[in-house]
Every structure is written in C-alpha cells, then in structure tokens.
Amino acid sequence: MPIPRSTVPGIITPAIPGRMASLLLSVLYQLDQTQWLSPEDLFAQQARQLRLLFAHAGQKVPFYGQRFAEAGIDPNAEVTRETFARLPILKREELQAAGEAIHATALPKSHGKRHHIETSGSTGRAVRMYGTEITGLFWRAGVMREHFWQGRDFGAKLGAIRWARKGVAMAPAGSHGESWGPASGAIYPTGPAVMLNIACELHEQVDWMLRERPDYLISFPSNLMALAKHCIDKGIEFPNLKQVLTVGETVTQQARDLVRQAWDVPLKDSYSCEEAGYLTIQCPEHEVYHVQSENALVEVVDDDGKPCAPGEVGRVLITCLHNFATPLIRYQLGDYAEAGAPCACGRGLPVINRILGRQRNRLALPDGSTVFPYFGNHDEYKAITPEVLQFQFIQHSLDEIEKRMVVSAPLTPEQEEATRELMVRNLGHPFRITFTYLDEIPLGPRGKYEEFISKVDV
C-alpha cells in the first residue's frame, strides 16, 4: 500500500494529507467495506440516500416537485423498490425541455460550488446540467477505486492516446505531466503521465510508445485494436507495458484477444458518463463489470421498463445519488447493456456482463489504411453554420463522406462550401463531401447517436 502524500512539513509518516486527499481517503475506506455488502444491504444504503435526495428534489427542484406529485409519491417517505419503480423514466428530451426547472433553486452549502456539465454537444442536442464539488469527489473516488482494483503501481508511468484538439499533444513529442492527475496526485506521489493525440497515425503512435515506454496505456478500444494489429503484423513489442486501460467505446472479446496477442497484457475496462461519473468498473478477477452502487443506482430494463434477468439486454437507467444541483432520477442514458448474475469474486455489487454503447469507427483511406477521424471541434462548425442543430458523418466509400444535418434554417451555398473545406482540411484527404438535411438524426442500433459511421468494408 503506497504512503499518502503528507502536507505538513517535517511529517512523512503517518502522513497528514490535505483536504481533498483526506476526503478521498475517507470515501475510499468506506468503499473498501461496502463492496462486500449483500445486494439487499447495498439497496438499503441507497434507499437511505435516495430519501434525502428525493426530499431535496421535491422541495428545491420544480421539475421533480411536479413529477413526484403526478406519480403519487411522497418525496419525504421511505424509498422502497416498489415506490422507486413507480417513478417514470426520465428521457433525454424531457431533461432538455425542462430548462431551468430541472436545476435546484438552492443547494446545501456543504455541497460546494456548482460547475457546468455539457454532453454530446457535437453528436446530438446537448444535455446541459450542473455538478457540485461532491459529485467531483465521487468521480475521483471512482478513478481511485479502479486503480486499486486493478493493482496498479502509482510510481509507474501512465500513457494515454486520447482525443485532443487538433495540434495538441501531436507526434513526435506528445505532452508530459508530472502526475497521473488530480485524483491520484491529490493522495500519492505518482510517476509521470504522457499523452499523444489519437489523431496521430499508427506508425507515429508506435514510435511514441517505443520512446516513452509507459507501464500503462489508456486509449479507445478501436484505436487499440488497430495499434495491436499493426504491432502483430510488424512484430513490434512493448516490453514495459503491464496493462491496457480502455474508455469511451464498447470492448469486444476481439479487442481483449488482440491486446493479449500483441503485447501479452490484460485489458481493463470501465464505464462512465459525464452526467454521473463512474457507473461500472471491470471486476479485478473476471471480465464482467461491477456497478458502482455507492455512486449511482443503475438499472438495466426491458422495453416495458421491467428489470432484465441475467443474460438479457436492456436500456441503462441511472439515478445519481449525490447530485443535488441537477438531480437525475431514472434517467435513460441512451446505452444498452447485458445484465449479469452475481460474480464469483464475492462482491455484492450488481453485475453487468457487457456494455453496448456507441462504437466509434475508424476512417478508411484509399490506400487501405485506417485512422481515427478528426473532423474538427464543435466550435469550428458553429462559427460557419450556427443554424446546424445536429450532425452526423457517414462514410459510404473510400472517397465519399456524407454529412447529415438537422438545421433551423437552410444553409447557403457558401456555408456548404466552407464546411466542405473545413472537413477536407481536418481529415487531410480530398474526400467528396455530400450533404443531407433531415428532420431528425436517427438513433443507432444501440440507441445512441454515433458521430461517425463507416460503411466501408476494410
């Protein structure tokens, strides 16, 4: 067990941590105990927290005051599974349409300052909400629990190949940091962290990996699969690599197998969202996921809103237990997941077998290679076409990409041409760009918007 960072000069051990570290360590100590509770005891704890959340929401959040009344639920009463299930599912459109009524008119002072959260601004109508210092604390606790569960050495080097704005953390140098980040760094002295923009080509990623030699690597599954295939084909090894971490996309068995074949290391996944933080973390002993019940009540339900049995696939609903600024109660996240049976590891935390979220595709180039597409950021397009409410890119062939759009007013020929130029410039290839105007961007087969879909078989 690493020794926490002490903030008192002359005192090393026992360490006297700072405020954030002390809060995190306190929560982590409790999480170490609650992971072994039975499902019934876990729900009992959730119900106690929900009662406080409901009482606050019923009094301070206009949207929920009306919602509880319409459902015939007393927000001050004890919460049972039956009363909880009587609450209607909160859909994305309702959350967006609620406007200011979904936000609390006042917060408990101890929850700290509010901060803005905005999700899916580039792929669909954005969800805008608030978090607090308390929700930030539980996000960091999820980060730390995941590190502890997967047995990572905080003194090692953490590498990341992730999205960044164009021109940031590009090859060959990438970017460098002194610690793993605000969660780990608040508690422990850590090794360095390095990052490379995922827009870099595979050979550039390989060169960066061989030069930086990280002990742990985090990236999107689609990028890791392409990188692993490249290394297998070229006979390239990363001898320092101990573990691969994945975020942002669905992890398939093929991804796990390719990572193991290429570098002989395990793949460790987690599932989080901007709205609620960590929802599941892969079991330390098995390839299933444990719901982070201390942070959120997560449901997997069928089309009728009934709980799915193990092995059944359903919609993911989340209830954030600690967000008093913008309460999300039975919120339909947009993802699908497969419910699981209790895990052999002995933890009482509910099990999800697979996450069936959005899968980012790679862009197929005429030379047969594939890259992670960079179309540009939302602000670039907004400056040219503020009338665009939603958009989606579809690759139909090796030379054609369609941009689907929902607009508030027709675009001018000049706006279309400027959009074409921006796409071609960002993609770095003279694709033929076409436009289609729709009343609504259809949901993907897994119930979520996909920013980019390739229909090219490569």
pLDDT digits (tens, 9 = 90+) for 123-164: 456 789 999 999 999 999 999 999 999 999 999 999 999 988
Do 18-357 and 363-454 agree at the fold level?
no
Question: What DSSP string runs through 146-190?
Answer: HHHHTT--TTS-EEEEE---TTSS-TTT-EEESSS-HHHHHHS--
Q: Rounded CA gap, 368 and 364, in Å?
A: 7
Q: Which fold has domain 18-357?
A: Rossmann fold (3.40.50)
Top-confidence residue, 292 or 446 = 292
CATH of domain 363-454: 3.30.70
Nearest in space to 295 (alpha carbons), one of 268, 323, 274, 314 = 323
Sequence spans of domains, the chain: 18-357, 363-454
Please, what is the Cα angle at 149 between 278 and 237, to 5 degrees? 100
Confidence (pLDDT) at 359? 39
Question: Is residue 119's pLDDT more than 90?
Answer: no
Q: Rounded CA gap, 146 and 290, in Å?
A: 11
> Stretch 27-47: mean pLDDT, rounded?
98
Question: Is residue 458's pLDDT more than 70?
Answer: no
Tallying the residues shown for the chain, one arrives at 458
Confidence (pLDDT) at 122? 39
CB proximity list for 453: less than 8 A, separation 6 or greater: 361, 392, 393, 394, 395, 444
Residue corresponding to tokens 């929700």? 135
Q: Rounded CA gap, 452 and 431, in Å?
A: 15
Q: What confidence tens digit (pLDDT) does each residue in 344-386 have?
A: 999 999 999 988 755 345 688 888 887 768 888 777 888 999 9
- Which range is least confidently modeled, 10-14, 114-118, 125-129, 371-375? 371-375
Nearest in space to 329 (alpha carbons), one of 317, 347, 341, 344 = 317
Work out the number of other CB atoms within 10 angstroms of the CB of residue 373.
23
Query: Which stretches within 188-340 are classed as H helix?
Result: 202-212, 221-234, 253-263
> Stretch 87-105: mean pLDDT, rounded?
96
Query: What does DSSP say about strands 277-282 and 267-273: parallel, antiparallel, or unpaired?
Result: antiparallel
> Stretch 64-82: mean pLDDT, rounded?
97
Top-confidence residue, 403 or 449 = 403
Confidence (pLDDT) at 85? 96
Q: What confidence tens digit (pLDDT) does each residue in 188-243 have?
A: 999 999 999 988 989 999 999 999 999 999 998 878 988 998 999 999 999 999 99
Nearest in space to 149 (alpha carbons), one of 248, 289, 295, 37 = 289
> Stretch 82-86: mean pLDDT, rounded?
96
